[in-house]
Structure 1
Amino acid sequence: MGLLSSVLLLPLAPVRGVVWVSDRLIDAAEAELYDPGVIRARLAALNRALDDGEIDLAEFEREEERLLDLLERKPIAPGGGP
């Protein structure tokens, strides 16, 4: 980038910084969402909730299916591509 374009784009630096930070936050959230260890822990907690009577069988099956779908899903590559 040339000196002139750097000077002209300087006012946008805070916006680029916010976009960069938000991209890092999204990456971290997706990594945690699709982490098999986290999903397995949530499945274990779901089983305990069913055993303790905190949730009914229908709610358990819905949530279990959603978690198993997450566990089987391949994480999306950075940039949204396959």
Structure 2
Amino acid sequence: MGLFSAILGAPLAPLKGTVWVAEQVHSEAEKRYYDPSAIRRQLEEVSAAKDSGAISDEEADKLERDLVARLLESTRRRKSKENP
């Protein structure tokens, strides 16, 4: 059975490889997007930009809300991995 499935599955090998690579890229992108230290660094950058006048208070508030939401989601994801 293994030989037949290998022969029949051979044409799909490039597709399977592409899907695997896409899954790996997606996983790494999520890790970076929800990395708490990166989010905190971005919050500090927003605060510095607001203090220097590079962005308005309204823009800073929106960015901060989005970053805090990501940080909360990061915490939720970590807890769900620890307690499946």
Taking structure 2 as the reference length, the TM-score comes to 0.86
Greater Cα offset, 22-31 or 1-10: 1-10
Cα deviation code 1:1-32 (max 9, x no counterpart): 61011101101101000100100011001011
Match of 1:37 in 2: 37
Paired residue total? 79
Moved over 3 A (4+): none
**What residue in structure 1 maps to residue 77 of structure 2?**
75
Alignment of 1:2-81 (within 5 A): 2-73=2-73, 74-75=76-77
- State the identity %: 38
CA distance in 2, matches of 1:21, 1:75: 23
TM-score w.r.t. length of structure 1? 0.87
Structure 2 residue runs of 5 or longer lacking an equivalent are none
| 3-state SS of paired residue (1:55) | coil
* Counterparts of 1:11 and 1:20, CA distance in 2: 16
